[in-house]
Structure 1
Amino acid sequence: MIDDLYSAKLLKLAANLPRVGRLSAPDASVEKVAKLCGSRVVVDVVVADGRVADFAQDVKACALGQAAASVLGAHVIGASLDELEVTRNQFRAMLKAGGPAPDGRFSDLAMLAPVKDYPARHASTLLAFEAVTEAVRTAIGLAPDTTGGRTSPAGAA
């Protein structure tokens, strides 16, 4: 039942987004929109020594997208591109294939595991992590990830 998705902890996260707003001088900014529902996330990043040094987000999304953005905002400072891409890929696999939840600093994403049963909610739930990985790639001068973080059947990135 969809009501099971909206736990008190999830709703509290969604209502208390950290790092809301925009940075005055970001190294990169990325906007992502979920076409099905219109959820929108804009992230700004500053990267120093290969890690996120500053971050801000403007989130107009459902409670699920806001909760994911809240986890991101609370733990993104100090994260490397590798860590963010691994987390995004684990998060996507958790939602789309019932894989294990991301571990480490983003382990609170585990509360969103029930979203796997609602494919129409996947895109909005993933928006913040899609945006931040692209923004960090841009900030450090890498091309966008044209695979979208998806792996081949052989498991190669």
Structure 2
Amino acid sequence: MQRKAMDLEAYMERARSGPCFICAFLAGEPGFAHDAVYEDDAHVAFLDRYPTLPGKVLVAPKAHVEHAVRDLDEVAYTHIMLVVRKVALALERVLDAERTYLYSLGSQEGNSHLHWHIAALPPGVPYEEQQFHVLMTENGVLDMQPGEMADLGARLRAAVES
């Protein structure tokens, strides 16, 4: 996996002062396009623009919700977690995964729109490079070409639909 450095200062500036990246993506705003792999009336799943692992996907509610626990009732929470599971299973069918990481990040100061990350750890990654290490953009992001991302997105869409 070839990695490249990420401009963390520019990323943090955009996350903290720019529009909500998920709402901007859903509105079709220029500069916020992502490869969608799943969508229903209430949710969207798309490839991470800054992947630290191949096929890293984000799943989010379409509504701008910020807290997983207190902003979602039991039905909405269960529904989004079923979407996370559906997409994660598709990711595992497309990519060889030793382990699949599921986590939700964000802050009131940036990236506040609730979203889950799904990341498939490939076999053979040394233990000291797994878990948080492999997920941190500070350790670089994958250097994937647009064609590679589009192909992976198409394979994931097909796997989610099957």
Check whether TM > 0.5.
Answer: no
More contact order relative to length (CA 8 Å, sep ≥ 6)? 2
TM-score normalised per structure 1: 0.28
